[in-house]
Structure 1
Amino acid sequence: MYWYEYCPKCTKSKYNLLVFKNDQPFLPLTDYYHDCLGRIDKTSARSYLNCILPFFKWLDRLSNYKRKRVAWNDNAEKIRTVVEDYLTNEMYCKIRDKDTYRFVSLTRKSPNSISHFLSALKSFYKAMIRLGYYTYCNPFIDDKATPYQFRESSVRKNKSRMPAIAGTEEPLNHRRLTDSYFKIINEEWQPQIIDDIELPYQVYLAGKKVNWSLREMIIARMLFETGARASEIIELTIGDYRKRQSHQELITFNKGSHGRKVKFLRFSKDTVKRLFHYIDSERKSIDKNHLSFHELPDEASLFLSSNGKPFTYHAWYYHWKKAMKANGISLNPHKARHWFVTSRLREIYNIAKNETEIQQRKNELIKYMKWKNPDTINVYEHHFDEMKHQELHEKMLKQMQQNEKEYIKKSKSSRKSKLRVMESQTIESFDEDLKELLEGLE
């Protein structure tokens, strides 16, 4: 088993996160995570780590090269062979030989994380070579790749090029050919449109059946009501909640904001009641000082694990996965974010009176989701009309509550409620701006 824990604040260590293998510290992955922190943001580093942990487990248990297990630090040929096996058998990809590298084709069964997985492994071996853990060449780099070269030509001979904005000369081709050993050839991002109004209530009911605590239920409700990423909710502090005047709002970081609190989230009054009940009951009982909401310092974590430490994504995902598996639901938590956007867009098209209003409300949604150019809260709020969003959002939250009551009533009256997740790839009533809007979710 491979897993990780954050270092307690009271412990002095050069590591703020430790990766374990069978309850023993595993330094290669630990040092890899900390090497990433100086190069990419914390969220991306943790995402890379989460992406390759299952591969390391598979490597120890199921890898096979000439009837022997392969270790992560074996030579490049062995690593490439077992990764091909992993991509084929575990990720349902098709591999085709091409000169000195491999083409990777995705199938319908392939997860949408293939590119992320290969990037994470390529990054891992770069770090291991840099840190002296790995003595071979990087298995994920085609060392025989021909460097891309281009000749800089100009219409105005023997003179410097005109600026691109002039439009008088052919643009320069700065496209860099990838040096990756595994090249994905049919990867095209497709927006995931989750168009099932009952999806949140299916998830809540699934959690209830496996005895989710109040903590898990609140996080799930916030996922669907705010459109936030799970980490943006799980890592909240008491101060993040206090800094907004409304009880229905809090501030949080955004992907790529390097921990800066650059956006706010808004949720229902029902979730507010649940949150305060959690803080002053369930959370208070496991807090080492047993403090209530008004006694807690701003830096205190909003959600705590059962041992009183800050709750982590890794610990939370265990509960999410358990509920989904027990109830036969195949649902990545990130789809809650897609569901939120789909619901908001549908609402926009239903209530907008003309094309101008549709575009205006789309822009409001873009700014709420913080998809482009994250900035400080003051600048962010200066460009975003909160009242317009609150008016529309409040209507959505009230409708969600009504839908939830109807769903619970219907599920009780039915002997056997079949859980399902309905997805569609296109919604005819949405224009082509939908794809551009949804790209910010990834």
Structure 2
Amino acid sequence: MAKYQYHYCPEGIESRYYLLVFNCENVPFLPLTDYYHDCIGRVDKSTALSYLKRLLPFFSWLDQFSNYQGNRVQWNDPPEAIRVIVEDYLMNEMGCKVREKDTFRFVNRTSKSPNTVNHFLSALKSFYKSLIRLKQYNYSNPLIDSYAILVEYKSQTEGVRKDKPRMPVEAGTEDAIPHRRLTDSYFKLINEEWQPKIIDDPYLPSQVYQAGKKVNWSLREVVIARILFETGARASEVIELTIGDYRSRKDFQEASTFNKGSHGKRVKFLRFSKDTVKLLMRYINKERVQYDELQRIFDALPSEAPIFLTELGTPFSYEAWYYHWDRAINECEIKLNPHKTRHWFVTTRLREIYNTSKTEAEIKQRTNELIKYIKWKNADTIKVYEHYFDEEKHRESHNQMLENMKKFENEYIEQKKNKRKKKPTQTVLENIKDVEIDAEIQELLDGLE
């Protein structure tokens, strides 16, 4: 099947497009090209690229297999046609079950469905938002259930008095409406909750570093990979660091950086090892100097200068970096997108907390410190990792119990072999009535009968 694909603008070619999307006939396809560039500045480049990648298979399928009332569907057809073929794509290409509900559709993933269903729906919704904003799509967004928003709005504004608006909260005459976000999606994914990936392989960073060595990573790629594993940062938060970000911290092992949604504002810091600091400074003062237009070393660089440069002397980008990352990952034959380094960091950091903390209070305090460092918007994310370690603790204690059972079993067999009897180690109470038992323990004992 012919596929939509994208290519970056070749070096030496002047174009207003940094990236071009080509359709199945290898002809430039401007709607997706314009969409990508409209995303830049609204979301970070890595998110824009990930959205684009989710849309390419859909548009390839749209051109070759879509069918609505006997005709191929175009991306700019009316919403009713788009909704029908999106539903068809979800069921036949993504293995989902789709169920009609009022003015929208419930979508259920099955065992055949990829993990990217929600990402695809978000990307398509974003695509039509952009094309409407760019005045290239002349209808309402087909991925939005406008009727549901209208009904929700009316319920939020109508008061208990017939045909009267709600009284203000200060009046105290009507119950307050609990705050909740309106769900405006036409396709609503149900029974779907994001779960972080638990990656618990202590040798994972070493595997990646060795793979990078095999594909001839430069010092630039080595430093970025080490910072990713050592800090739990997102790739863009490392790649776009400036000299000023590093200088702004009083500790030479730290750098300030932005967070997802902070719009470039430096709201958190990264902390990495002394070995990585040495490699970073070697990169800045030797490898980077070759590509800096004025061959400046660290002390001569202005604070706004990017730490990482391309061979052309331009700021290094996520897309340019990902090419090198992808080559290394393919070399070591593991599936590892860059974001999983963040999950690896959290898993490893929590294991250290659980192994070294002496009390539950200490675990709680250090876990809260980790949440603040990682800058999660929802602190409940940590619960998934904690659940993992609770299970691990149970496995450890259960294994100890099994070892003890095996030990006593062997002792018993030895006793039988030697025909020696050993006094029982447990104490037999002659009169149980004389023993006072705690009420909670008694309740437990009763429940075991």
TM-score normalised to structure 1 length: 0.71
2:389 maps to amino acid: I
The answer on whether the counterparts of 2:46 and 2:319 sit within 8 Å (CA) in structure 1 is no
| CA radius of gyration, larger in | 2
Q: For residues 224 and 69 of structure 1, do their structure 2 counterparts lie closer, same or farther at Cα, with a shift above 3 Å needed?
A: farther
2:287 is matched with: 282
Partner Cα distance (1:260, 1:178) in 2: 29
- Cα deviations by residue, 1:50-109 (Å, 9 ceiling, x for unpaired): 233124433453432249865433333443344345545665544344454332222456
Q: Counterpart of 1:46?
A: 45
**What is the distance in 2 between the residues matched to 1:233 and 1:186?**
34
Percent identity reads 58
Listed as ranges, the matches of 1:315-394 within 5 Å are 315-372=320-377
CA spacing shift, 1:203–1:153, aligned 2, 3 Å: farther
Which residue of 2 is the match for residue 102 of structure 1?
105
Q: What are the Cα deviations for residues 374-403 of structure 1, in whole angstroms up to 9, with x where unaligned? A: xxxxxxxxxxxxxxxxxxxxxxxxxxxxxx
Distance in 2 (alpha carbons) for counterparts of 1:26 and 1:372: 36
Alpha carbons 1:51, 1:117 under 8 Å: kept? no
Number of equivalences: 369
Q: Distance in 1 between matches of 2:50 and 2:92?
A: 17
Offset of residue 267 of structure 1: 0.7
The answer to whether the 8 A contact 2:243-2:307 is kept is: yes
Does the 8 Å CA contact 1:366/1:372 hold for their aligned counterparts? Answer: no
Residues 333/163 of structure 1: CA separation in 2 closer, same or farther (3 Å cut): farther
Structure 1 match to 2:446? none
CA offset digits 1:222-249 (Å, max 9, x no partner): 1110111111000011111122233211
Who is 1:219 aligned against? 224
Q: For 1:106-150, what per-residue CA distance to the aligned partner results, in whole angstroms no more than 9, with x for missing partners?
A: 245655553343233223312322331112332212355461243
Residue 20 of structure 2 corresponds to which residue in structure 1? Answer: 20
2:190 counterpart residue number: 185
CA distance in structure 2 between the aligned counterparts of 1:89 and 1:322, rounded to whole angstroms: 32
Q: 1:333-373 CA distances to partner (integer Å, 9 max, x unpaired)?
A: 11111111111111111111212212221222122222359
- Deviations along 1:28-62, whole A, 9 cap, x unmatched? 4565467667xxxx473535522331244334534
User: Secondary structure of the equivalent of 2:389?
Assistant: coil
CA shift in 2, pair 1:111/1:236, >3 Å? farther
Distance 1:21 1:321 in 2: 20
Counterpart Cα distance in 2 of 1:345 and 1:319: 29
User: What pairs up with 1:111-122 in 2 under 5 angstroms?
Assistant: 112-122=115-125
Summarize deviations over 1:302-330 as a string: whole Å, max 9, x none: 11123221111112122222222232211
Aligned CA distance change for structure 1 residues 143 and 170 (closer, same or farther; 3 Å): closer
1:249 and 1:294 mapped to 2: Cα distance? 17
SS in 2 for 1:426: helix
Long gaps (5+) in structure 1: 374-422, 432-442
Output the CA distance in 2 between the equivalents of 1:71 and 1:296. 51
Aligned partner of residue 151 in structure 2, secondary structure: coil
Query: Which structure would you say has the larger RCO, counting Cα contacts within 8 Å and 6 or more residues apart?
Result: 1
Letter in 2 for 1:50: L
Q: Distance in 1 between matches of 2:139 and 2:237?
A: 38
- Which residue is 1:298 aligned to? 303
Q: In the alignment, which residue of structure 2 is the partner of 1:58?
A: 57
Q: Distance in 1 between matches of 2:90 and 2:280?
A: 42
Question: Does the residue aligned with 1:128 lie in a helix, a strand or coil?
Answer: helix
RMSD of aligned Cα (Å): 3.9
Per the TM alignment, residue 179 of structure 1 is displaced from its structure 2 partner at its CA by 3.2
The aligned amino acid for 2:6 is Y
Q: 1:74 to 1:299 in 2, by over 3 A?
A: same
> Is the contact between residue 194 and residue 424 of structure 1 (CA under 8 Å) also seen in structure 2?
no
Structure 2 match to 1:426: 388
From the superposition, tell whether residues 271 and 74 of structure 1 become closer, same or farther in structure 2 (CA, over 3 Å): same
Matched residue SS, 1:193: coil
Gaps of 5+ in 2: 379-384, 394-449
Structure 1 residues 48 and 249, CA gap change in structure 2 (3 angstroms): closer
Find out whether 1:83 has 2:86 as its counterpart: yes
Alpha-carbon distance between aligned partners in 1 of 2:300 and 2:92, rounded to the nearest angstrom: 53
1:80–1:289 distance in 2 versus 1, CA, 3 Å = farther
* 2:140 aligned with 1:128: no
Q: Is the 8 A contact 1:240 1:252 kept in 2?
A: yes
What do the CA deviations read for 1:160-190 (whole angstroms, capped 9, x no partner)? 68779x9x98652454653322110121122
Alpha carbons 1:122, 1:140 under 8 Å: kept: yes
2:204 to 199, 213, 230: 199
User: Distance between the aligned counterparts of 1:309 and 1:72, measured in 2?
Assistant: 36
Match of 1:436 in 2: none
CA contact (8 A) 1:192 1:425 kept: no
Give the whole-Å Cα distance in 1 for the aligned partners of 2:361 and 2:196. 24
Q: Is the 8 A contact 2:144 2:186 kept in 1?
A: yes
Could you say if the C-alpha distance between residues 360 and 316 of structure 1 is closer, same or farther in structure 2, counting changes exceeding 3 Å? same
Name the one with the larger helix percent: 2
Could you say which residue in structure 1 is the equivalent of 2:416?
none
Q: 1:217 to 1:93 in 2, by over 3 A?
A: farther
Farther off after superposition, 353-362 or 225-234: 353-362
SS at match of 1:428: helix
Asked if structure 1 preserves the Cα contact closer than 8 Å seen for 2:54 and 2:120, the reply is no
Determine if contact 2:55/2:124 at 8 Å carries over to the other structure: no
Change in 2 beyond 3 A, CA 1:52/1:356: closer
- Residues 207 and 217, structure 1, Cα contact 8 Å, conserved in 2: yes
d(CA) in 2 for partners of 1:351, 1:300: 40
